[in-house]
Structure 1
Amino acid sequence: MNTLLALYQEMGWGLSLLVLATFLLAGTVKGVIGLGLPTVSMGLLGLAMAPAQAAALLIVPSTFTNIWQLMLGGHLRGLAVRLWPMLLAIFVGTGIGSLWLGIDGGKWVVHALGGALVLYSLSGLFLPVLRVPARHEAWLGPLCGVATGIITAATGVFVIPAVPYLQALGLNRDELVQALGLSFSVSTLALALGLLWHGELGGGELGASLLLLVPALLGMQLGQWLRQRISAVMFKRVFFTGLALLGAHLLING
């Protein structure tokens, strides 16, 4: 129990409450739109702590919720066969990024995190629905995978360009949700290995991350309840607008 609480004791009550509230909100967003837990948590926690520490805290909630997401839908085998070049490239790209860049706590990392959030938000708000012809998947998938991996290693955000690419494959809703869970699971595993390599992920961080499963899962339940009662389109607009403002703040003042 001391291991689980050690990091929170170091952070103090104020920052600990911010962390818990952040994962409750991030889980709620994921419950409504099917993604956003690591993006929201990295963006908000980037205001108060080093990105490497924030990334370490999201490992367990992100892994658990993404594996849960990828196991639902019945399309896992087909998606794994179709997407394995991209998934392998994410792993390789994250490894390259961890060796080359890494979330080392430098000020540039906070600016990079802000830039990634702004780019993702703008793509969510304004990018039209694209379609990737099947003949281009063989080269475009690995290219997007490597880019996603490098951005993941530098910022802890693994949605760019993976999410727009997957959305452009013409998958049905169930397939897309499962494909996102598969991509995020690989990204989280690769990020965890990168953090471990840099000494940023130890027993204290994993224990603190494990406790964050509770607010993340509560948030997901709340989000699923809200999804039946609010406009998903309007929620996405508010979400991406807020994320863009947060990213802009980190980019300019981070």
Structure 2
Amino acid sequence: MEPSLILFAFLGIAMGGVLKGATGAGAPVIGVPVLAVVFDVPMAVAIFAVLNVISNTWQMTTFYSEIVDLRLAWSHALAAAIGVVPGSILLATLPKEVLTVAMAAVVFLYIGLRLTRPDWRLTRVQGQRLGPSLGFIGGLLQGAGGVSAPVSVSFLSALRLGRLDFIGTISVFFLAMAAFQIPTLIALGILSWERAGLAVLAAIPLFMGMSLGTWIARRISKKAFDQAVLVLLAAIAIKLTWDAFG
């Protein structure tokens, strides 16, 4: 592999870590599309499935006691865990071009939601009612493309959770999915020991980015940071679309 591609992958994972460190979530939103450009969608999803376990185990251990509504957190997470299985089957069976276009569409959807519905809000009762169905959809997206943020992050943001409550809740969500996703990816031949080893190495730039994201979050406005991330995501989605149709 060319050194420039390795550097691009390193920076993409680190940038995903910056987003996760600053907001508590979102590393796959940047990291998976970047790795999909460097490798392919299945390999990108496999690597980030392992990375999600590493990063979210630490976050859940640290912030689980901060979760205000455990019923909402676990109903949302367990439904997502169920959804990730059929999503992973789609990952193994759909053509590469379809997955690449789907990945770009998911990223564009996330951008659209952030731009058009910045003030969308749900009550706690509405969240408990919608949590399982939205969790299942998020699991499908996670399994098929490695990115559930268009559903999961938007849903939890709409509940206006506090930062520590949000981090604890989203960590439960990701780990519940990983408990089903990783065995499914192994059974389908998508996650191998080699890819797991690459994921462990990828944890280095991820945690470097998380540390930087925590530092940045204390020094710039969240609005400015979000705008920069959305511009980067748009560029990645356009590149994926170009690769699929070029």
CA contact (8 A) 2:41 2:100 kept: yes
CA contact (8 A) 2:110 2:150 kept: yes
The alpha-carbon deviation at position 12 of structure 1 amounts to 5.6
TM-score by length of 1: 0.85
The residue that corresponds to 1:67 in the other structure is 57
The alpha-carbon deviation at position 33 of structure 1 amounts to 2.7
Are residues 1:113 and 2:109 paired?
A: no
CA contact (8 A) 1:27 1:223 kept: yes
CA RMSD of aligned residues (A): 2.2
Aligned residues: 243
Distance 1:25 1:220 in 2: 8
The alpha-carbon deviation at position 17 of structure 1 amounts to 3.2
**Superposition pairs of residues 120-135 of structure 1, within 5 angstroms:** 120-135=110-125
The residue that corresponds to 1:102 in the other structure is 91
**Which runs of 5 or more residues in structure 1 are unaligned?**
1-10
Alignment equivalent of 1:239, drawn from 204, 215, 229: 229
The residue that corresponds to 1:173 in the other structure is 163
Q: Comparing both structures, which one devotes a greater share of its residues to helix? A: 2
The alpha-carbon deviation at position 125 of structure 1 amounts to 2.7
C-alpha change, 1:174 and 1:76, in structure 2 (3 Å) is: closer
The alpha-carbon deviation at position 32 of structure 1 amounts to 2.4
CA contact (8 A) 1:151 1:158 kept: yes
CA contact (8 A) 1:51 1:110 kept: yes
The residue that corresponds to 1:209 in the other structure is 199
Distance 1:32 1:94 in 2: 26
**Which runs of 5 or more residues in structure 2 are unaligned?**
none
Are residues 1:223 and 2:213 paired?
A: yes
Point out the more displaced range, 56-65 or 34-43.
56-65
The residue that corresponds to 2:145 in the other structure is 155
TM-score by length of 2: 0.88
The alpha-carbon deviation at position 49 of structure 1 amounts to 1.5
Distance 1:71 1:227 in 2: 21
Point out the more displaced range, 177-186 or 128-137.
128-137
